[in-house]
């Protein structure tokens, strides 16, 4: 599969920093979520539509590798990649850049879950077809 890659730009807000003036580690999960939602929208998928169709996507794993800090006012570019066709889970990889320098990498794993039974399910065929249309 050809990776599907998007770029999301974020500006660090004062409330996201700690007493040392750097972005608190807990905010990177939010940055990844913002970039993931942006990725989904850019490929034509929306969380609220998936949920209306009975599909939930809870997070099952989050990995973050900190290389350098981000600070208040910094403009960050979050690169989001999908390298593998989803099955029961969908895995996103992230790279965060500040001034073209890589400062953070990460990965999230989300599981497709039936909204009623709350049990894992296979990725809907319509979602796989939509993703396939971007990798051809």
In three-state secondary structure terms, 19 is coil
Distance CA 35, CA 56 (A): 18
Distance CA 58, CA 86 (A): 14
Question: Catalytic: 38?
Answer: no
Assigned token pair, 58 = 């809870």
Assigned token pair, 66 = 């900190």
Catalytic residue annotation: 18
């Amino acid at each position: 599969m050809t990776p599907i890659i998007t770029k999301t730009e974020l500006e660090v807000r004062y409330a996201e920093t700690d007493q040392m003036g750097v972005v608190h580690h807990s905010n990177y999960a939010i940055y990844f979520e913002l970039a993931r939602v942006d990725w989904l929208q850019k490929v034509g998928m929306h969380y609220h539509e998936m949920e209306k169709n009975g599909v939930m996507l809870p997070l099952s794993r989050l990995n973050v590798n900190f290389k350098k800090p981000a600070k208040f006012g910094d403009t960050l570019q979050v690169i989001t990649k999908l390298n593998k066709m989803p099955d029961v889970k969908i895995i996103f990889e992230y790279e965060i850049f500040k001034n073209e320098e890589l400062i953070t990498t990460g990965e999230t794993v989300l599981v497709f879950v039936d909204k009623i039974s709350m049990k894992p399910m296979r990725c809907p065929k319509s979602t796989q077809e939509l993703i396939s249309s971007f990798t051809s």
